[in-house]
């Protein structure tokens, strides 16, 4: 709220309108007591009606500006949250469950409406109106004012005692809601896989259990809320009885005039009402407060991650003030020096003391079991992850010293499961180069063997379903390759298992397109299938976050295409934490 001027203005109007409407209660009580006691003439009814009309206008103003406050705060908080998640990148974002983040940014922050439109204005009214009512009661009737002064603190005291329990149970309820929303979204996304492996019914049972847990947490929260309402209403009713009974007895005894008695009876409830309303709205707003706490926890945890200083080059005595910028035209050399990567909240390192060099225009295949660290190595090159120890060099310059936007402009990346958006095929391909013409898009699609596009109902203008639901896995992969072909200036190609889950025909098309795409580029390919490994000059096996073998498959020609001396084989036997691993690879078709 401090960051948005319009939000501050809306909040100020909201609080001012709430306080003025509360203070007009005193004027309304004075007029009504005078009219009922016969002290004022019938003309005073017009003034009373005007006061009631002004209170209604202020209430309407408060509602309108409170709604705008809530909209502005939620919008600003969502922008900060999504901006922080965008800064984290895919690797660190993987530490959070995407479904829980969707629930937090959507349904969770919507719960702030009750806090911003109800609880905050009620705090302002509760801070001003009871004090004003007490001052007026002291001038009207000292005995009644003392009773109100003594009993008034009971409501916030009991409200605070119940409120501490409310906060705890509401946080548990929101956690249950996050688990329910997150798990449900993850299950829907993975439903084809669950159906294929016959696990859909089991997940239906799991969702039912999570939903029951959320229902139980919600019922516990409602029980506490109803208990709080009972306590507050009981305290307020008993306090009012302590005021009303003596007023009635004194009025019958003739020691108190009718106008003063009516004024006290009309004002006394208004002293307790703001505190009761604040307690009730506190319970209604707790879910939104829990969501905001969760959002700020994500923001604060991300902001507190220390930004590591660039490692000092061992061969340099003095670091130049302006870092060197590698040339942007040719394929670069990429070197990892003693790189270790650890993700927050995880035991062990994703990569452990990895050192390797990928030469210009060299094609390297990364192989190994799932979870061994291959994707983390790609994320290092993409700049999504910074090494905990060591450094990544591009043509001798530390990647942390480079402009990441400029570096990524030199990259072409094809993920294992590329995301296709609910827009036309042309726009999905154009994601690789927003300024590409239709001729360039058609050429990129042809190079990626995406000939199926012409057979679609509107060709390149065909609107796809979200995540490419209308296409097969091979077709989605070829559109992703077309994106890469749409970046002719890219000098580095990164592929993360592009032929996973493809049939033989689609795999052959992707492999052929990849071979063309990798020509004259530095290429790093995460691969399991032999056809993709055959494209590589070197095969690097990664196990448990360590490089356990680095094998040169065949002599690679120099960049100028002339004959050169064969490079020595880099195959070796390495000792990893899992034991001694000997990597051997036979040439020929029987791999």
The alpha-helical segments, DSSP class H, found in 118-199 are 120-140, 142-151, 154-189, 191-196
Confidence of residue 329 (pLDDT cuts 50, 70, 90): low
Does residue 185 lie in a domain region?
Answer: no
How many other CB atoms are found less than 10 A from the CB of residue 327?
A: 9
Does residue 205 lie in a domain region?
Answer: no
Q: How much is the mean pLDDT over the chain?
A: 75
406 and 473 assigned to the same domain: no
Q: Is the pLDDT reported for residue 588 higher than 60?
A: no
- Give the least confident one: 207-216, 219-228, 535-544: 219-228
pLDDT tens per residue across span 166-179: 767 777 777 777 77
Confidence of residue 455 (pLDDT cuts 50, 70, 90): confident
Does residue 429 lie in a domain region?
Answer: yes
pLDDT at 503: 65
Q: Is the pLDDT reported for residue 258 higher than 70?
A: yes
Does residue 468 lie in a domain region?
Answer: yes
| Residue span of the structural domain in which 364 resides | 330-410+522-591
Give the gyration radius of the chain's Cα atoms. Answer: 35
Sign of CA dihedral 253, 256, 259, 263: negative
404 and 418 assigned to the same domain: no
pLDDT at 310: 40
Does residue 273 lie in a domain region?
Answer: yes
Q: Is the pLDDT reported for residue 247 higher than 80?
A: yes
Q: What is the DSSP string of 41-94?
A: -TTHHHHHHHHHHHHHHHHHHHHHHHHHHHHHHHHHHHHHHHHHHHHHHHHHHT
560 and 467 assigned to the same domain: no
Q: Is the pLDDT reported for residue 195 higher than 70?
A: no
pLDDT at 197: 56
Contact by Cβ (8 Å): 287, 176: no
142 and 115 assigned to the same domain: yes
24 and 142 assigned to the same domain: yes
- Give the least confident one: 203-207, 389-393, 465-469, 527-531: 465-469
Whole-prediction pTM = 0.51
Task: Tell me what the mean pLDDT of segment 147-166 comes to.
Answer: 79
**How many domains are there within the chain?**
3
273 and 421 assigned to the same domain: no
Q: Is the pLDDT reported for residue 87 higher than 80?
A: no
Q: Is the pLDDT reported for residue 387 higher than 70?
A: yes
Instruction: Tell me how far apart the alpha carbons of residues 9 and 370 are, in angstroms, rounded to a whole number.
Output: 54
126 and 57 assigned to the same domain: yes
395 and 428 assigned to the same domain: no
pLDDT at 447: 80
Instruction: Tell me how far apart the alpha carbons of residues 1 and 72 are, in angstroms, rounded to a whole number.
Output: 8
Does residue 564 lie in a domain region?
Answer: yes
468 and 588 assigned to the same domain: no
282 and 385 assigned to the same domain: no
Q: What is the CATH number of the domain that holds 445?
A: 3.40.50.300
Q: What is the CATH number of the domain that holds 129?
A: 1.20.1560.10
Of 85, 113, 492, nearest to 285 by C-alpha is 113
Contact by Cβ (8 Å): 436, 484: no
373 and 417 assigned to the same domain: no
| Percent of the chain predicted with pLDDT > 70 | 79
551 and 481 assigned to the same domain: no
């Amino acid at each position: 709220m401090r960051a948005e001027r319009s939000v501050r203005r809306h909040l100020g109007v909201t609080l001012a309108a709430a306080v003025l409407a509360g203070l007009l209660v005193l004027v309304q009580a004075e007029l009504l007591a005078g009219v009922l006691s016969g002290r004022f003439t019938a003309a005073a009814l017009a003034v009373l009606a005007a006061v009631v009309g002004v209170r209604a206008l202020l209430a309407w103003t408060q509602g309108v500006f409170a709604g705008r406050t809530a909209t502005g705060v939620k919008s600003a908080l969502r922008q900060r949250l999504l901006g922080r998640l965008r800064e984290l990148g895919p690797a660190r974002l993987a530490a959070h469950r995407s479904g829980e983040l969707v629930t937090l940014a959507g349904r969770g922050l919507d719960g702030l409406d009750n806090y911003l439109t109800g609880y905050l204005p009620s705090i302002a009214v509760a801070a001003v109106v009871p004090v004003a009512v007490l001052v007026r009661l002291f001038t009207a009737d000292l005995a009644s004012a003392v009773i109100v002064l003594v009993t008034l603190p009971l409501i916030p005291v009991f409200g605070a005692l119940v409120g501490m329990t409310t906060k705890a149970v509401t946080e548990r309820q929101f956690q249950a809601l996050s688990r329910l929303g997150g798990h449900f979204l993850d299950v829907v996304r993975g439903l084809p896989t669950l159906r294929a492996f016959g696990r859909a019914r089991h997940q239906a049972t799991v969702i039912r259990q999570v939903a029951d847990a959320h229902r139980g947490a919600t019922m516990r929260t409602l029980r506490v809320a109803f208990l709080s309402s009972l306590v507050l209403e009981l305290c307020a009713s008993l306090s009012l009885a302590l005021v009303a009974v003596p007023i009635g007895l004194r009025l019958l005894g003739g020691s108190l005039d009718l106008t003063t008695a009516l004024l006290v009876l009309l004002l006394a409830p208004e002293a307790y009402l703001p505190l009761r309303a604040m307690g009730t709205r506190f319970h209604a707003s707790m879910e939104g407060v829990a969501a905001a706490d969760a959002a700020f926890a994500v923001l604060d945890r991300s902001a507190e991650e220390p930004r590591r200083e660039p490692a000092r080059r061992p061969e340099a005595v003095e670091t130049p003030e302006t870092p060197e910028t590698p040339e942007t035209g040719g394929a670069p050399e990429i070197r990892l020096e003693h790189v270790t990567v650890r993700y927050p909240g995880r035991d062990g390192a994703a990569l452990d003391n990895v050192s390797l060099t990928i030469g210009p225009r060299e094609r390297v295949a990364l192989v190994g079991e799932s979870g061994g660290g291959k994707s983390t190595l790609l994320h290092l090159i993409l700049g999504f992850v910074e090494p905990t120890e060591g450094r990544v060099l591009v043509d001798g310059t530390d990647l942390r010293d480079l402009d990441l936007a400029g570096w990524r402009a030199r990259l072409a990346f094809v993920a294992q499961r590329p995301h296709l958006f609910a827009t036309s095929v042309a726009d999905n391909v154009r994601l690789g180069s927003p300024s590409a013409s239709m001729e360039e898009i058609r050429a990129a699609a042809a190079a990626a063997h995406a000939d199926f596009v012409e057979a679609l109902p509107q060709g390149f203008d065909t609107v796809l379903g979200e995540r490419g639901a209308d296409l097969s896995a091979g077709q989605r992969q070829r559109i992703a390759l077309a994106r890469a072909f749409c970046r002719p200036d890219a000098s580095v190609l990164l592929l993360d298992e592009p032929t996973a889950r493809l049939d033989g025909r689609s795999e052959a098309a992707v492999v052929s397109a990849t071979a063309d795409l990798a020509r004259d580029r530095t290429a790093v390919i995460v691969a399991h299938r032999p056809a993709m490994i055959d494209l590589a000059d070197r095969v690097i096996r990664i196990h448990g976050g360590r490089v356990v073998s680095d094998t040169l498959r065949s002599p690679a020609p120099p960049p100028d295409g002339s004959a050169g001396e064969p490079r020595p084989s880099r195959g070796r036997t390495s000792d990893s934490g899992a034991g001694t691993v000997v990597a051997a690879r036979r040439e020929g078709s029987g791999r």
